[in-house]
């Protein structure tokens, strides 16, 4: 069969991994086709992930900040929320970025083919679009088909009151009572948004702490604040049954801490994401896919088939946009013949809750579990002039050092802007910085960034009078 389209490089999926890979490949002179099933580029991150969630979290932060201002004599009154306008704002933010991507693709002469792709051979992909089926023949390929929300069985998914993260971001309404199943990053970000907009929020989490993965002492300030704001958190608990009723979704629970059983107006299930590796007939190209749908790759992002690469959520955890973009660039460069490989030591994680929680490298919990010889420097924000001025003294900055070399190997921050502050620690780890390098770097005063230098000084013993 004759191919409808021929190209040197085919990229399957236009999320942060895919569009970065396609743009880099085109910049390096490869004739590139980008296949995406949805009409806009940007994937989960731009359309139904990172970007719309952060736009809504900004609105939530403004509501909370305005309420807080009452404490220092400024009363804005109760917020009046025009949901249509808020939704339009979120859509404008997303639209601006996806339009930008379309322009960048055009500028680079990346050919975008809209439709759902499946491999039919090691050098061919069939794309089913609105206008029919096209066969694309490629020399090399980068698979960037991403992931999708796990649809936990037992929930009445055909009922619109049961939502995944994509539904929750649509902001169809502000439910009076919202149940969030899953106390990880996505669940708690959405809980933050809906609570600020006025929902009564209940969170159930199977693990013994919220945000499993982060150190418990960094999670505590968030848990305390949620409690103060009236969010009911139930740990080591799961939903046993969820039944649709006229007056809501009636749930029963199993576990250590059972919420009051009342029908919920909406239920958000945010228990993780599943890779799309098993949905693209990768086996027809000879590409190995694990049972769970991940595609194994080497340090150059190559699959077991040398001319096919894979990147982003579908090659493994952590499922984060900045990991996908880094991998996308790397795969394109290797495909173009450059001698590159994965050398990043660490990938930062950020929960954009209020307070934010961010961590990078080895956590204290992990260090203890692995028996690593580490020392910890911890700076409580109660001693930061800037944090006091912001009225946010619950923050903590923590650095984890290798005891033998005094090099920083991990860090965690809880507090406003933790997500911005963590980048310095990531850089310090990548640069092999020692405690003295960080402590002796002059940080601007008064900033929250000083807390990073202070944590290093606490470890070094040059600040001793904090506690
Ligand atoms: P994706 O973004 O999943 O893109 C894959 C693309 O491939 C999609 O557009 C899909 O339509 C397309 N595709 C799949 N199969 C086919 C096919 N057969 N044919 C054609 N096209 C196909 N990460 C962060 O780093 N920071 C955050 O703040 C953050 N917030 C998030 C909030 C939410 C609510 C969610 C759900 C996720 C969030 N993430 C965040 C995760 C982030 O969105 C993902 O890690 C990132 O999008 C992964 O990029 P990717 O390129 O691997 O895949």
Task: For ligand 1, atom 8, name the residue with the nearest CA.
Answer: 43
Per the CB < 8 A criterion, the answer to whether 163 and 250 are in contact is: no
Q: Does ligand 1 lie within 6 Å of residue 141's CB atom?
A: no
- What residues are paired with 191 via a beta bridge? none
Q: What is the pLDDT of residues 311-359, one digit of tens each?
A: 999 999 999 999 999 999 999 999 999 999 999 999 999 999 999 999 9
For residue 9 the two structure tokens come to: 């490089």
Residue 423 CA: distances (Å) to CA of 405, 411, 449: 22, 10, 10
Distance CA 15, CA 58 (A): 23
Mean pLDDT of all residues in 263-282 = 97
Task: For ligand 1, atom 32, name the residue with the nearest CA.
Answer: 49
| Conformational region of residue 458, where left means phi above 0, alpha means psi within -120 to 50, and beta covers everything else | alpha
Q: Taking the model in full, what pTM does it have? A: 0.97
Residue linked to tokens 């085919």:
10
Report how far apart the first and last C-alpha atoms of the chain are (Å, whole number): 74
Distance CA 235, CA 253 (A): 11
For residue 377 the two structure tokens come to: 């420097």
Q: Are strands 124-129 and 116-121 parallel, antiparallel or unpaired?
A: antiparallel
Per the CB < 8 A criterion, the answer to whether 55 and 86 are in contact is: no
Residue linked to tokens 């499946």:
118
Distance CA 345, CA 430 (A): 6
Q: What is the pLDDT of residues 232-266, one digit of tens each?
A: 999 999 999 999 999 999 999 999 999 987 899 99
Q: Does ligand 1 lie within 6 Å of residue 52's CB atom?
A: no
Neighbours of 61 (CB within 10 A): 17
pLDDT at 466 over 80: no
Best residue among 10, 11, 13 to mutate for probing ligand 1's pocket (most ligand atoms within 8 Å of CB) is: 13
| Binding site per annotation, positions | 54, 117, 182-189, 205, 272, 313, 319-322
Distance CA 321, CA 453 (A): 28
Range list of β-strands (E), 176-316 = 177-181, 200-204, 232-234, 237-245, 248-255, 266-269, 273-275, 308-310
């Amino acid at each position: 069969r004759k191919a409808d389209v021929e190209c040197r490089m085919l990229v399957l999926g236009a999320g942060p991994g895919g569009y970065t890979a396609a743009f880099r490949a085109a910049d390096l002179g490869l004739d590139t086709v980008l296949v995406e099933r949805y009409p806009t580029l940007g994937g989960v991150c731009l359309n139904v992930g990172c970007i719309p969630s952060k736009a809504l979290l900004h609105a939530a932060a403004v509501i909370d900040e305005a309420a807080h201002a009452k404490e220092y004599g400024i009363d804005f009154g109760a917020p009046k929320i025009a949901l249509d306008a808020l939704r339009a704002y979120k859509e404008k933010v997303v639209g601006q970025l996806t339009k930008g991507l379309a322009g960048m693709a055009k500028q680079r002469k990346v050919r975008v083919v809209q439709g759902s792709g499946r491999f039919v051979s090691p050098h061919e992909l069939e794309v089913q679009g609105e206008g029919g089926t096209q066969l694309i023949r490629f020399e090399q390929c980068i698979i960037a088909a991403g992931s999708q929300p796990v649809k936990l069985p037992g929930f009445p998914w055909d009922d619109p009151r049961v939502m995944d993260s994509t539904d929750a971001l649509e902001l169809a309404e502000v439910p009076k009572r919202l149940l969030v199943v899953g106390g990880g990053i996505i669940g708690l970000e959405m809980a933050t948004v809906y609570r600020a907009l006025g929902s009564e929020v209940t969170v159930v989490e199977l693990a013994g702490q919220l945000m499993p993965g982060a150190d418990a002492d960094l999670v505590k300030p968030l848990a305390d604040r949620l409690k103060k704001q009236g969010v009911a958190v139930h740990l080591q608990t799961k939903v046993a049954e969820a039944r649709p009723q006229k007056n809501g979704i009636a749930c029963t629970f199993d576990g250590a801490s059972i919420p009051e059983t009342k029908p919920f107006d909406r239920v958000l299930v945010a228990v993780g994401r599943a890779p799309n590796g098993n949905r693209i007939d990768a086996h027809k190209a000879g590409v190995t896919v694990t049972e769970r749908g991940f595609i194994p790759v080497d340090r150059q992002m190559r699959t077991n088939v040398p001319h096919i690469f894979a990147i982003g959520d579908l090659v493994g955890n952590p499922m984060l946009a900045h990991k996908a973009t880094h991998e996308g660039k790397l795969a394109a460069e290797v495909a173009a013949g450059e001698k590159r490989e994965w050398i990043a030591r660490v990938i930062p994680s950020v929960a954009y809750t209020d307070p934010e929680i961010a961590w990078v490298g080895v956590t204290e919990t992990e260090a203890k579990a692995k028996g690593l010889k580490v020392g910890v420097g911890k700076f409580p924000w109660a001693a930061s002039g800037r944090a006091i001025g912001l009225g946010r003294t619950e923050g903590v900055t923590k650095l984890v050092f290798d005891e033998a070399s005094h090099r920083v190997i991990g860090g965690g921050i809880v507090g406003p802007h933790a997500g911005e502050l963590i980048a310095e620690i990531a850089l310090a780890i990548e640069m092999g910085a020692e405690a003295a390098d960080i402590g002796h770097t002059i940080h601007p005063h008064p900033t929250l960034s000083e807390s990073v230098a202070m944590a290093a000084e606490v470890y070094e013993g040059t600040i001793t009078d904090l506690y």
